[in-house]
């Protein structure tokens, strides 16, 4: 008996199912007939017009293989008599069986050749679709339990060749959009609870443009959207946004954008992305005029803070975002930034007008959470409009609230390569004194191209150093730490391709302000060629015709400021054998360099010394010693204007000189000889030998032929020919090779030097025989006889 009942029930169920299928097939077949389509369209339009209290027109009511229900030429009018919605084809996939139970379930919505027009007007702030939402929710007279009669279980939304116009006077938004193809696959769609979870969004061949004429008001709704997605894919999509009050423009063109997500949970502040890929795209942002930063419409910091605040109000606890991205891949993309509050710089990198092209960026394992950021930079390539090019950049990035660390990085440009580590320390106090960030840069096996420095500071291109180093990168290694207030160098070494190099340590204060910049450097070893030295030094660092050694090795301490360079134990060893050691300073006074050396030592050979001095600096009547050692001090601005106090040790003997020179070749001083071979020095070895004594002098001119000289000499001992004389006093003048002298040996000395004696102010006294050694013959040096013979010879001639 029980089996018969079960069999009977199954037969009834199968019969009803067959009947429903038959009815469904019959309805579908009837909908393919033109009269039935027309009748159905008229009834549908009449029903919707009454339901929505708006003019609704339907061209045809049919079905096809894409959708179970299709409305052709669907038109919905707003209350102003303008188009609200138009669809050339509106296709719906319905639960056909649900219709028999009074339920409408929409699973798929497809619109082809459609148009949506949204408007709001002032002062009533009414939207042209507002009445429709009320009608759908309540009907014309009384509320309707729509949940019992309809369900929007939407799974697929497809728009093809769809246009959108927005004219929102309330929000100040005006926009147009042309959607080539928009396909949305939904996992959950519940507008009443603000749940929008999508599986896939695809947008192709589309353009979107918006104009905002009012700044948005702070949101008052504290509820948070529950939204997520699995995949977003844009292809050939252009977006333009302009904000008039903020004078901002944003333009984006996506050739191909793909975003894959593992999890999106805004309620719990979690975003977990699997992949973000962007290629053949461009992004441009422009700031057209000066406005307060608080007025910026596109303000990521403020937007993030506002989102944090909303989520925090819902959660009732502080929000700590966790954002992760497994792979970021950007290829063949451009970025343009322009701030038109500032003029465009003609050369170099203009940070207010940047334009990058050919951006290739690959980053793995991006993580942000609890104020910690980390990423693995695998590749970065780009070209800036100035010509600056990054050909490769990789490294590990880590950041927390105290520092930004770039570890094991390798940055390559067209001209440079930097490698090792970089740390940026953030201030931990909010006081002004502790608000400066500090860096810690360690470089090894790195090279810097001078052209890259010119990109960041174009005025370097006019420097003489650029002509010398412009095409030759230099190697760099060492550590740089601190900030612009105090920058410290540790074991920093630079080496140019020309062979010049420097190893130094020290610090630089106020590095970015040339007016108050101060440098303290300990040069451990500096090797420099003549060409490189001249390129680095000021043009007037040396007098005209002065020649540096072909190569130099330098060490010592240098302290410099805007108008002064201090030297401590500054040592220069020239390739020609010259050794220079000094302590002092070089100061800029009235646009001239003033040299003040309190301790000076110069050791040189005759040949090396003459090769350095300008031609003609040493009179041809003088022959320098083979080797010389000068010690003392020096102060002056040139070889024509200085004061020096020097001691000389040489192969000719010893000498001390206190000399002062003035412009127009004027000079004065005191010369002291100590067993000095005066004959070799004056090229009079046949007549003169070594001498010991003191001479005060003053005069004008650098060469004996043109010199004007007045002198007073006290000779303690002098060798004249084969005789040795002591305690000789001389006073006289030299006027262009014409002598006038007084003294107790004046006549004899002048005659035997072979010069013409034009005038003798006073006949010299006879020599004191008691002061002449016994072996010396006095009669041979009788100055009176010499004078008489000379005068007689001149009369005969």
Question: For 460-499, what is the HEC assignment?
Answer: HHHCHHHHHHCCCCEEEEEEEEECCCEEEEEEEEEEECCC
Q: Note the pLDDT of residue 574.
A: 93
For residue range 461-490, what is the model confidence (pLDDT) as tens digits? Answer: 887 777 777 677 889 999 999 888 889 999
Average pLDDT for residues 433-452, to the nearest whole number? 83
| Residue 510: other Cβ atoms inside 10 A | 17
Cα gap 667→448, rounded to integer Å: 49
SS3 624: coil
207 in Cβ contact with 238 (< 8 Å)? yes
Token representation of residue 197: 């979870």
Is the confidence at residue 122, as pLDDT, over 50? yes
Average pLDDT for residues 330-351, to the nearest whole number? 92
522 - beta bridge partners? 505, 557
Average pLDDT for residues 210-233, to the nearest whole number? 75
Token representation of residue 615: 């031609």
Average pLDDT for residues 129-141, to the nearest whole number? 54
681 in Cβ contact with 699 (< 8 Å)? no
| Residue 43: other Cβ atoms inside 10 A | 12
Q: Give the confidence band of 97 by pLDDT, cuts at 50, 70, 90.
A: low
Look at 740 and 375; give whichever has higher pLDDT: 375
In whole angstroms, what separates CA 723 from the centre of its chain?
Answer: 77
165-170-176 Cα angle (round to 5) = 15
SS3 617: coil
Cα gap 662→698, rounded to integer Å: 11
- Beta strands per DSSP E along 288-425: 322-339, 353-369, 372-384, 389-399, 403-413, 417-425
How large is the angle between the packed helices 34-52 and 130-138, nearest 10 degrees? 100
Q: Note the pLDDT of residue 298.
A: 54
333 in Cβ contact with 280 (< 8 Å)? yes
In whole angstroms, what separates CA 155 from the centre of its chain?
Answer: 51
In whole angstroms, what separates CA 412 from the centre of its chain?
Answer: 14
Is the confidence at residue 125, as pLDDT, over 70? no
189 in Cβ contact with 154 (< 8 Å)? yes
In whole angstroms, what separates CA 26 from the centre of its chain?
Answer: 75
Q: Note the pLDDT of residue 168.
A: 86
Whether residue 123 has a cis bond before it, omega within 30° of 0: yes
464 - beta bridge partners? none
Cα gap 38→34, rounded to integer Å: 6
Any residues with CB less than 8 A from the CB of 2 and at least 6 apart, and which? none
In whole angstroms, what separates CA 123 from the centre of its chain?
Answer: 51
320 in Cβ contact with 372 (< 8 Å)? no
Average pLDDT for residues 72-101, to the nearest whole number? 74
Residue 766 is given by DSSP the state P
788: buried, middle or exposed (CB in 10 Å: 19+, 13-18, 0-12)?
Answer: exposed
Q: Note the pLDDT of residue 701.
A: 82
Q: Note the pLDDT of residue 145.
A: 47
Look at 67 and 146; give whichever has higher pLDDT: 67
**Spatial CA neighbour of 390 closest among 329, 316, 452:** 452
503 in Cβ contact with 493 (< 8 Å)? yes
Q: Note the pLDDT of residue 333.
A: 96
Cα gap 683→622, rounded to integer Å: 6
Cα gap 671→263, rounded to integer Å: 93
Look at 28 and 343; give whichever has higher pLDDT: 343
Token representation of residue 84: 């609200």
In whole angstroms, what separates CA 210 from the centre of its chain?
Answer: 34
Average pLDDT for residues 633-637, to the nearest whole number? 85
Task: Give the containing element (helix H, strand E) for 319.
Answer: none
Name the average pLDDT for the chain: 78
Q: Give the confidence band of 59 by pLDDT, cuts at 50, 70, 90.
A: confident
SS3 565: strand
Percent residues over pLDDT 90 in the chain: 36
| Residue 360: other Cβ atoms inside 10 A | 16
Is the confidence at residue 87, as pLDDT, over 80? yes
632 in Cβ contact with 647 (< 8 Å)? yes
Cα gap 118→4, rounded to integer Å: 63
Look at 106 and 163; give whichever has higher pLDDT: 163
Q: Note the pLDDT of residue 196.
A: 77
Cα gap 477→442, rounded to integer Å: 7
Q: Give the confidence band of 429 by pLDDT, cuts at 50, 70, 90.
A: low
Average pLDDT for residues 437-441, to the nearest whole number? 88
Q: Note the pLDDT of residue 315.
A: 54
Cα gap 235→257, rounded to integer Å: 6
Q: Note the pLDDT of residue 43.
A: 52
**Spatial CA neighbour of 571 closest among 563, 580, 562:** 580
Look at 543 and 250; give whichever has higher pLDDT: 250
673: buried, middle or exposed (CB in 10 Å: 19+, 13-18, 0-12)?
Answer: buried
Is the confidence at residue 425, as pLDDT, over 60? yes
Q: Note the pLDDT of residue 381.
A: 96
Is the confidence at residue 669, as pLDDT, over 90? yes
In whole angstroms, what separates CA 771 from the centre of its chain?
Answer: 81
For residue range 162-196, what is the model confidence (pLDDT) as tens digits? Answer: 999 998 888 888 999 999 999 999 887 776 677 77
SS3 170: coil
Cα gap 87→162, rounded to integer Å: 8
Q: Note the pLDDT of residue 652.
A: 94
SS3 773: coil
Q: Would you give the end-to-end CA distance of the chain in angstroms?
A: 176
SS3 30: helix
Q: Can you spell out the DSSP letters for 730-760?
A: EEEEEESS-EEEEETTHHHHHHHTT--B---
396 - beta bridge partners? 376, 407
What φ, ψ does residue 187 adopt, rounded to 5°? -95, -40
Q: Note the pLDDT of residue 628.
A: 93
SS3 781: helix
The winner for highest mean pLDDT among 498-502, 604-608, 738-742, 745-749 is 604-608
Token representation of residue 574: 């020239």
For residue range 672-689, what is the model confidence (pLDDT) as tens digits? Answer: 999 999 889 888 888 888
The winner for highest mean pLDDT among 66-80, 341-355, 584-598, 696-710 is 341-355
Q: Note the pLDDT of residue 729.
A: 84
């Amino acid at each position: 008996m029980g089996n018969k009942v079960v069999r009977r029930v199954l037969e009834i169920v199968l019969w009803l199912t067959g009947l429903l299928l038959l009815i469904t097939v019959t309805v579908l077949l009837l909908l393919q007939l033109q009269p039935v389509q027309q009748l159905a369209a008229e009834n549908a339009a009449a029903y919707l017009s009454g339901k929505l209290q708006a003019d609704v027109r339907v061209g045809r009511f049919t079905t096809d293989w894409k959708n179970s229900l299709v409305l052709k030429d669907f038109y919905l009018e707003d209350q102003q008599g303008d188009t609200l919605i138009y669809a050339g084809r509106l296709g719906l996939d319905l639960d056909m069986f649900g219709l028999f139970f009074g339920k409408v379930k929409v699973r798929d919505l497809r619109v082809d050749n459609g148009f949506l027009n949204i408007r709001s007007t002032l002062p009533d702030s009414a939207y042209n679709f507002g009445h429709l939402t009320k009608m759908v929710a309540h009907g014309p007279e009384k509320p309707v339990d729509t949940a019992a009669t309809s369900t929007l279980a939407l799974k697929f939304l497809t728009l093809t060749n769809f246009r959108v116009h927005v004219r929102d006077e309330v929000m100040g938004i005006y926009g147009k959009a042309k959607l080539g193809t928009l396909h949305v696959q939904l996992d959950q769609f519940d507008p009443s609870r603000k749940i929008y979870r999508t599986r896939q969004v695809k947008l192709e061949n589309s353009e979107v443009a918006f104009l905002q004429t009012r700044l948005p008001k702070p949101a008052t709704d504290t509820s948070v959207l529950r939204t997520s997605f699995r995949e977003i894919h844009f292809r050939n999509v252009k977006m333009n946004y302009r904000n008039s009050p903020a004078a901002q423009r944003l333009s984006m063109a996506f050739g191909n954008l793909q975003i894959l997500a593992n999890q999106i949970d805004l309620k719990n502040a979690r975003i977990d992305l699997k992949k973000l890929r962007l290629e053949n795209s461009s992004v441009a942002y422009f700031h057209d005029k000066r406005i307060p930063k608080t007025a910026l419409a596109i303000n990521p910091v403020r937007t993030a803070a506002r989102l944090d605040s909303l989520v925090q109000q819902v959660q009732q606890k502080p929000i700590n975002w966790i954002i992760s991205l497994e792979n970021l891949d950007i290829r063949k993309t451009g970025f343009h930034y322009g701030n038109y509050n500032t003029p465009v710089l003609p050369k170099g990198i203009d940070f207010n007008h940047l334009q990058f092209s050919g951006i290739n960026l690959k980053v793995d394992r991006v993580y942000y959470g609890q104020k910690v950021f980390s990423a693995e930079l695998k590749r970065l390539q780009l070209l800036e409009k100035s010509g600056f090019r990054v050909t490769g950049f990789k490294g590990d990035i880590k950041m927390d609230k105290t520092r930004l660390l770039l570890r094991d990085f390798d940055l390559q440009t067209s001209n440079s390569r930097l490698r090792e580590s970089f740390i940026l320390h953030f201030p931990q106090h909010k006081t002004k004194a502790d608000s400066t960030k500090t860096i810690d840069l360690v470089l090894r096996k790195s090279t810097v191209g001078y052209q890259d420095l010119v990109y960041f500071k174009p005025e370097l291109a006019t420097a003489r150093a650029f002509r010398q180093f412009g095409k030759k990168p230099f190697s760099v290694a060492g550590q740089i730490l601190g900030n612009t207030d105090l920058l410290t160098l540790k074991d920093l070494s630079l080496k140019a391709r020309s062979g010049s190099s420097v190893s130094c340590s020290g610090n630089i204060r106020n590095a970015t302000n040339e007016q108050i910049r101060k440098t303290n450097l300990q040069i451990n070893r500096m090797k420099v060629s003549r060409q490189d030295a001249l390129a680095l030094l000021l043009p007037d660092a040396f007098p005209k015709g002065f020649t540096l050694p072909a190569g130099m090795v330098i060490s010592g301490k240098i302290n410099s400021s805007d108008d002064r360079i201090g030297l401590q134990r500054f040592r220069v060893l020239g390739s020609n054998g010259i050794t220079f050691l000094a302590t002092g300073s070089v100061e800029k006074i009235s646009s001239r360099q003033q040299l003040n050396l309190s301790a000076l030592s110069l050791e040189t050979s005759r040949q090396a010394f003459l090769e350095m001095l300008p031609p003609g600096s040493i009179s041809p009547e003088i022959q320098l010693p083979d080797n010389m050692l000068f010690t003392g001090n020096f102060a002056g601005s040139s070889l024509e204007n200085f004061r020096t106090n020097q001691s000389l040790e040489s192969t000719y003997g010893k000498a001390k000189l206190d000399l002062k020179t003035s412009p127009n070749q004027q000079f004065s001083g005191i010369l002291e000889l100590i067993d000095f071979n005066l004959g070799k020095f004056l090229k009079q070895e046949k007549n003169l030998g070594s001498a010991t004594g003191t001479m005060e002098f003053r005069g004008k001119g650098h060469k004996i032929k043109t010199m004007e000289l007045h002198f007073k000499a006290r000779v303690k001992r002098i060798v004249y020919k084969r005789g040795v004389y002591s305690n000789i006093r001389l006073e006289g003048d030299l006027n262009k090779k014409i002598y006038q002298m007084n003294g107790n040996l004046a006549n004899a000395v002048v005659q035997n030097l072979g010069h013409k004696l034009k005038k003798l102010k006073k006949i010299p006294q006879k020599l004191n025989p008691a002061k002449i050694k016994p072996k010396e013959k006095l009669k041979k040096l009788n100055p009176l006889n010499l004078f008489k013979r000379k005068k007689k010879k001149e009369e005969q001639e």
